[in-house]
Structure 1
Amino acid sequence: MASRPVLISMGDPAGIGPEIVMRALRERPALRREVVVVGDMATLRRAARLGGVAPDSAEGGLVLAGLDEPAQWAGLPRGAVGVLQAGEALAPPPWGQVSAVAGHAAAAAIRLGAQLALDGRARALVTAPIHKEALAAAGEPYPGHTELLQALAAQHRGVPVEALPVRMMLSAPGLATVLVSIHVPLREALAAVTTEGVLETVRIADTHFRRTGLARPRIAVAGLNPHAGEGGLFGCEEIEVIGPAVRAARDLGIEASGPHPPDTVFMRARQGAFDVVVAMYHDQGLIPVKLLGLEHGVNTTLGLPFVRTSPDHGTAFDIAGTGRASADSLLAAIDAAMAASPA
């Protein structure tokens, strides 16, 4: 048993987040000695009932135990699941509906989990899926997990957000990609491809992989244009922006290469030529990873002062509350968080 737990925020209470958290802990009972769930007790009890066994029953149930702080998890009875109530107790909202109530509850769980991780009272934070419209309806000024966690970490350190750059990494078995920009319109994403931004992304990726045990990560940098510009025939960003960033990274001792044609670099990485691909914008990097299947995909935020992972799928409102949602991607995210954080 670790000295500190991994925290799991419940996600949007109207989506599959609470359901897959409960399913993961039912399918892998040993995790109950490693994790604490952050969210709303009534919502989690409702999700636990989807397993066909009443919560807290002596046979097959999930015993949910309320905690006041993460450290109390160490004293829980064997097999119990520790729960930290985030915000006020909730009347669980209807399954599969966007609402400000759900968005507020999801944000409360993220904020509490992040604060505990920033304070060093947790090993890592794994976040179940949230709904961006629900967050916006609740008045949250951030479009997703990554931006919210970056803002909370910057506030904790007393620095401006821009002084704590973060990047999104999506990974599936055989492929990992780190993005230069995240949730911005495509026109803005293209404008965000600067030498400084690409270099910063490469440096953040290199730091992450070195911390996880790779002495010299092989980082492939994708081009922006078809065929990486074909020597300027299809655009000059590779010559004027991306190439200089790659050279600067190599001058720093980073094993970076490129810019590579974006239509083949992901295939080459999956074949073993590279450890990670730096992609120029959201869809360029995420389509190849998600094509491999969402069931084992993991989203990791690089650059935070704590480990944060999440499953690579959304709230799945269409099946929420049916008991059909798979916990495989969440389990992969938990495994990744445990592997990347000291016990």
Structure 2
Amino acid sequence: MTSRPRIAMVLGDPAGIGPELIARLLADPATSEQADILLIADRDEWRRGMQVAGVELALAETDTLRFAQGAPRLYHWELDGKPAYPRGASSAEGGRYSLGTLSLALSLALSLAQSGQADSILFGPLNKSSLHAAGMDHSDELHWFAEQLGYHGAFCEFNVLDGLWTSRVTSHVALKDVPAMITPERVGAAIDLIDQALRRAGMATPRIAVCGLNPHNGDNGAFGREEIDVIAPAVAAARERGVNADGPFPADTIFLKVQGGPLQRQFDAIVTMYHDQGQIGIKLMGFSRGVTVQGGLPVPITTPAHGTAFDITQQGRADPGATLQAFQIACRMGAQRRAAAQA
């Protein structure tokens, strides 16, 4: 039996750079050497993506959702009443197509993963503004994935850059709502989630740093007591569970401890308390290489973290670095999942 992963791919929002990025990824012969790939895509959008990227790759089409060893295969889907939409812009019409991408293409990919036919999923960037303009009820695609999978456990977006992972206790919520959401249970769940994810990605003993919430880490209670009353006890409890966690650390200096490569940095992951606390740091370190992992779900799902980049779409200059990183993480996590299923 083989641990070679099977990856289902989806182009993402066709008004953005997703089709171009997936075209560049699949045109590289090294890609098909690492995994068996099934691209679930509108063939017209796939062809347009190749045209923009300046590459040509003749994928064998299949009318069944089946993987094959060797070259990637294409399963064509097309949205009924396909709307006309502007390229390079957020719009309700483009959002309708993106909702179709979720409800059709990504639903098919999830079904493959749930049945064990696919080991992981990689999708091109989606645009939340377009999705919400078209009527999406969920705050983001992560919550949509969880609902589709019938998953009711803890989950969170992870951002990954060159082997450094970040997680957060709260995500797409107003900043004024954050303090009330910082509880020992939520902090502990965030620590456990990223520890489990790193282990599934092949790291035996992840080193996890946990941020404080307040300026200067609360300065011994002068600027708030969350560090003393909530975060430090949650870190201590995680250590008692066997998790290699430390903190809390001041958020304005923690990223200094993770500079350099894996051998130089002091930690493998950072758990932050809210969205921008970690996102600013990791995006400054390498915006074009960052990856989002839909953390905590029973299926490994990855996507580039940079978004749809409407400002450069259709120009043929989108950087595929993050897509390549997302693919490699999908391969590692998919291989671990397949190996566990075969054990």
TM range (shorter): 0.7 to 0.9
Moved over 6 A (4+): none
Q: Cα–Cα, structure 1 residues 209 and 174, in superposed 2: closer, same or farther, change >3 Å?
A: closer
Q: Residue by residue, what CA displacement relative to the aligned partner does 1:247-276 show, whole Å, maximum 9, x if unpaired?
A: 111221212111111111121133421111
Tell me the amino acid that sits aligned with residue 63 of structure 2: D
Q: Which stretch of the first structure deviates more once superposed, 189-198 or 32-41?
A: 32-41
* Matching of residue 245 in structure 1 with residue 234 in structure 2: yes
Q: Are 2:126 and 2:308, in contact at CA under 8 Å, matched by a contact in 1?
A: yes
Partner in structure 2 of residue 57 of structure 1: none
Q: Residue by residue, what CA displacement relative to the aligned partner does 1:20-51 show, whole Å, maximum 9, x if unpaired?
A: 11121123464286222223221111121224
Deviation at 1:333?
0.3
After the TM superposition, which residues 18-37 of structure 1 pair with which residues of structure 2 at under 5 Å, given as runs? 18-28=19-29, 30-31=31-32, 34-37=36-39
Any unmatched runs of 5+ in structure 1? Answer: 54-60, 158-162
User: Secondary structure, in 3 states, of the residue corresponding to 1:341?
Assistant: helix
Deviation at 1:116?
2.2
Deviation at 1:212?
2.7
Partner in structure 1 of residue 130 of structure 2: 134
Q: Residue by residue, what CA displacement relative to the aligned partner does 1:127-185 show, whole Å, maximum 9, x if unpaired?
A: 2111112111222211322121122122xx5xxxxx32101111112532111111111
Q: Residue by residue, what CA displacement relative to the aligned partner does 1:284-335 show, whole Å, maximum 9, x if unpaired?
A: 0111110012222111122101111111101111111111112111011001
Out of 239, 249, 253, the position equivalent to 1:260 is 249
Partner in structure 2 of residue 228 of structure 1: 217
Partner in structure 1 of residue 290 of structure 2: 297
Partner in structure 1 of residue 106 of structure 2: 110
Q: Are 1:38 and 1:86, in contact at CA under 8 Å, matched by a contact in 2?
A: no
User: Secondary structure, in 3 states, of the residue corresponding to 1:70?
Assistant: coil
Deviation at 1:223?
0.5
Partner in structure 1 of residue 341 of structure 2: none
Q: Are 1:7 and 1:124, in contact at CA under 8 Å, matched by a contact in 2?
A: yes
**Whole-angstrom CA distance in 1 between matches of 2:120 and 2:71:** 21
Out of 303, 306, 311, the position equivalent to 2:299 is 306
**Whole-angstrom CA distance in 1 between matches of 2:81 and 2:23:** 18
Tell me the amino acid that sits aligned with residue 322 of structure 1: Q
Partner in structure 1 of residue 327 of structure 2: 334
User: Secondary structure, in 3 states, of the residue corresponding to 1:292?
Assistant: helix
* Matching of residue 63 in structure 1 with residue 70 in structure 2: no
Tell me the amino acid that sits aligned with residue 109 of structure 2: G
* Matching of residue 319 in structure 1 with residue 312 in structure 2: yes
Tell me the amino acid that sits aligned with residue 51 of structure 2: R
**Whole-angstrom CA distance in 2 between matches of 1:30 and 1:175:** 22
* Matching of residue 272 in structure 1 with residue 265 in structure 2: yes
Q: Are 1:43 and 1:90, in contact at CA under 8 Å, matched by a contact in 2?
A: no
Partner in structure 1 of residue 14 of structure 2: 13
Q: Are 2:83 and 2:96, in contact at CA under 8 Å, matched by a contact in 1?
A: no
Q: Cα–Cα, structure 1 residues 112 and 238, in superposed 2: closer, same or farther, change >3 Å?
A: same
* Matching of residue 144 in structure 1 with residue 140 in structure 2: yes
Deviation at 1:89?
7.5
**Whole-angstrom CA distance in 1 between matches of 2:171 and 2:125:** 17
Tell me the amino acid that sits aligned with residue 239 of structure 1: I
Tell me the amino acid that sits aligned with residue 121 of structure 1: Q
Tell me the amino acid that sits aligned with residue 181 of structure 1: T
Partner in structure 2 of residue 83 of structure 1: 75
Q: If the length of structure 1 is used for normalisation, what is the TM-score?
A: 0.87
Out of 49, 64, 68, the position equivalent to 2:51 is 49
Deviation at 1:87?
4.2
Any unmatched runs of 5+ in structure 2? Answer: 339-343
Q: Are 2:5 and 2:334, in contact at CA under 8 Å, matched by a contact in 1?
A: no
Q: If the length of structure 2 is used for normalisation, what is the TM-score?
A: 0.87
* Matching of residue 186 in structure 1 with residue 179 in structure 2: no
Q: Residue by residue, what CA displacement relative to the aligned partner does 1:44-87 show, whole Å, maximum 9, x if unpaired?
A: 1112122446xxxxxxx22134333331x317xx6564234264
What is the number of residues matched between the two proteins? 326
